[in-house]
Homo-oligomer: A and B are copies of this chain.
Amino acid sequence: MTLQEAREKLAEVQHKGAAYNHAVSLIYYDGVTGAPEGVADNRAQTLAVFSEEMYRLSTGKETAELLEYLDANRAELSRHEARQIDLMLKDLRMMEKIPLDEYVAFQRLMVQADDVWHKAKESNDWALFEPVLEKVFDYHKKIAAWCAPDKPPYDYWLDRYEEGLTTERCEAFFAALRERIVPLLKRVLARPQLDDSVLHGSFPADRQEAFARRLMDVIGLDRARVGLATTEHPFTTSMGSHLDERITTHYHEDDFSLSMYSVIHEGGHALYDTGSARELAYTVLDGGVSMGIHESQSRFYENIIGRSRAFCEYILPVAAEYFPELKGRTAEELYRAVNRAQPGLIRIEADELTYALHVMVRFELEKRIFADELAVRDLPAEWNRLYKEYLGVDVPDDKHGVLQDSHWAGGNIGYFPSYALGSAYGAQYLRKMKETVDVDACVRAGDLAPINDWLRERIWQHGCLYRPGELFERAVGEPFDPTVFASYLEQKYTELYQLD
């Protein structure tokens, strides 16, 4: 094998991987959009075949030899190729520790778990979900033990979503937030509550869909390459490359803001993915580098931009084109309504201030299950207890409690802390961005291009070329500091609730 042949082969392996990713993403997407409801068995069959093919592609002898040969000749490679080798070798070293039959069985289990969870949530039936969730956690423990026997198993999974993240770092981060958020929330709740009546009314789904497309234009998504669909649980996915992206939303006809912020949130993910440099397509460097950085984009658009006063000023008259009952309402009413802080039951409906508390509940539970300090069967009771302790709310049933999120059923255990991390990263982007961009003026004018350009240049275009920590520090020129986010919240809520 000449070096040139090896480089061509490297590209070919990545093209195959992208094609499998396309198929797998589309099969999942189809499963929650167009597919008839009784065909999960057929999906599972195909996904099992593809997971086996992907396993062989990542860990097979031919790929291993190729990567080792190229690794030994890395001085001859481009910076992109060298990083591709690093990522692929890391993946190979990990995957080869998981026996093939176990890997395929795990993939099959995850398809089944997702199907069972949908039914369990719909019928509020924890008992249906419990045995399969137990298997899901057991598999996660086994995989962690195979792949990283020297690490606590939860650390292995945290690192999968945000390279370098550990239980200890999470605890420090959450402690820093809690120290500032809990007293702030207490002061907020002592004040008269903000009025959010502007959000409530009758907003037909078809109008909301037209408005959703308008929002996609406003935040700068290219709708020729980013599709919109309706699902029970909103999400974003790439079809093998950043050249075909899909976001989904859910329309609540009594409150237009839920889908609005869903679209802006998923739109932030899609901006990040589709912002990869063109030449990264069909390589392992394409798309977002970690879930923490991903959520830092989605939550930046959703909250820091979308829940700003400037955005409310811009979007209210636009929204009124679709929803005539908004005519006569003021931007200030909208701003106060969408920032109403109120401890609640549902994470994805939480305001910016209480959101991190929802994440902390999940972090606590995952941590204790991995440490064998909590059994899966005790999850609902413990969930409810922690919601009472952290948020002061009583959980009426599991549908509004432990069954609410798709993540565990989707095999995304260890993912939740990324949301809180991402929120905190965003406050630092904002501080840095304001040095060169008049963020408020841009948003008020509905011109997000300077903001998108800032993020594209520093974050999006690089795909997976840098590790997340490095990417973050290059973007903001300083280490991660959660107190910036705490200060952002304090400033915002002090003014909103007139705490001074």
Give the residue of B18, B35, B38, B246 whose beta carbon is less than 8 angstroms from that of A46.
B18
B243 touches A49 (CB 8 A): no
- Give the distance in Å from the alpha carbon of A244 to the alpha carbon of B43 in the complex: 9
The answer, yes or no, to whether A315 is at the interface (CB within 8 Å) is: no
Complex CA gap A90/B42 in Å reads 27
The answer on a CB contact under 8 Å between B240 and A39 is no
Q: How many residues of A contact B (CB 8 A)?
A: 39
Give A157 to B349 CA distance when docked, in angstroms.
57
Q: Is A50 an interface residue (CB 8 A)?
A: yes
User: CB distance B26 to A243 under 8 Å?
Assistant: no
Q: A residues 33-61 with Cβ under 8 Å of B? A: 33-39, 41-43, 45-46, 49-50, 53
Contact in complex: B282, A36 (CB < 8 Å)? no
Whether A225 pairs with B46 at a CB distance below 8 angstroms is no
In the complex, whether A222 has a CB less than 8 A from a CB of chain B is yes
CB contact list, A229-280 vs B, under 8 A = 229, 239-241, 243-244, 246
In the complex, A9 has a CB within 8 A of chain B: no
Given A34-B33, A223-B36, A239:B42 Cβ within 8 A: yes
Complex Cα distance, B22 from A33, in Å, reads 16
A26-B23, A33-B34 are known contacts. Are A42 and B241 too (CB-CB below 8 A)?
yes
Q: A39-B243, A239-B39 are in contact. Are A16 and B223 (CB under 8 A)?
A: no
B224→A45 contact, CB < 8 A: no
Q: Are B227 and A41 in contact (CB under 8 A)?
A: no
What 1/0 mask marks residues of chain A from 3 to 29 whose CB sits below 8 Å from any chain B CB?
000000000000110110011001101
| Beta-carbon nearest neighbor of A33 in chain B | B34
Q: How far is the CA of A2 from the CA of B23 in the complex (A)?
A: 34
Instruction: Kindly list chain B residues whose C-beta atoms are within 8 Å of the C-beta of A33.
Output: 34
Q: Flag A65-77 by CB within 8 Å of B: 1 or 0 each.
A: 0000000000000
Alpha-carbon distance between A41 and B39 when the two chains are bound, in angstroms: 29
List of B residues within 8 angstroms of A27 by Cβ:
22-23, 26
Q: Check B39–A225 contact: CB distance below 8 A.
A: yes
Complex alpha-carbon distance, A161 and B39, angstroms: 28
* A364, CB-defined interface residue at 8 Å: no
Give chain B nearest CB distance to A126 CB in angstroms: 25
A144 at the interface (CB under 8 A from B): no
- Closest beta carbon of chain B to A269's beta carbon, Å: 15
State the CA gap A26–B22 with chains docked (Å). Answer: 11
Looking at the assembled complex, report how far the CB atom of A220 sits from the nearest CB atom of chain B, in whole angstroms. 15
Is A30 an interface residue, CB under 8 A from the partner?
Answer: yes
Cα(A53)–Cα(B23), bound, Å: 13
A226 contacts the other chain (Cβ, under 8 Å)? yes
CB-defined interface of A463-484 with B at 8 Å, one 1/0 digit per residue? 0000000000000000000000
Are the C-beta atoms of A30 and B39 separated by less than 8 Å?
no
Q: Quote the shortest CB–CB distance from A119 to chain B (angstroms).
A: 13
User: In the complex, are the beta carbons of B224 and A38 less than 8 A apart?
Assistant: yes
Q: Could you tell me the distance in whole angstroms from the C-beta of A211 to the nearest C-beta in chain B? A: 18
Q: Is the CB of B46 within 8 A of A240?
A: yes
Cα distance, A23 to B30, chains bound together (Å) = 11
- Which residue on chain B has the smallest CB distance to residue A23? B23
A33 to B37 alpha-carbon distance, docked (Å): 18
Chain B residues near A43 (CB-CB < 8 A):
244
Chain B residues positioned under 8 Å from A224 (CB to CB) = 36-39
Partner of A222, one of B38, B222, B241: B38
**A311 vs B23: C-alpha distance when bound (angstroms):** 41
A22's contact among B22, B41, B42, B225, by CB below 8 Å, is which? B42
By a CB distance below 8 angstroms, the chain B residues around A246 are: 34, 36
Task: Report yes or no: A15 in contact with B243, Cβ–Cβ below 8 A.
Answer: no
Do A240 and B19 form a contact, CB below 8 Å, given A26-B30, A225-B36? no
- Pair A35/B227 contact, Cβ less than 8 Å: yes
Q: Are B34 and A227 in contact (CB under 8 A)?
A: yes
CA distance A23 to B42 in the complex (A): 12
* B46 x A19 contact (CB < 8 A): yes
Q: For A22, list chain B residues within 8 Å (CB).
A: 23, 27, 42, 46
Question: Smallest distance from the beta carbon of A202 to chain B beta carbons, Å?
Answer: 18
A-B contact pairs, 5 of them (CB 8 A): A19-B53, A22-B23, A22-B46, A34-B246, A39-B239
Chain A: residues with CB nearer than 8 A to chain B? Answer: 15-16, 18-19, 22-23, 26-27, 29-30, 33-39, 41-43, 45-46, 49-50, 53, 222-227, 229, 239-241, 243-244, 246, 282
Given contacts A23-B23, A36-B244, A42-B240, could you give 10 more A-B pairs where the C-beta distance is less than 8 Å?
A15-B45, A16-B53, A18-B45, A19-B49, A22-B23, A26-B30, A29-B34, A34-B246, A35-B244, A36-B223
Those 4 A-B pairs whose CB atoms lie nearest each other, nearest first: A38-B224, A23-B23, A19-B49, A39-B244
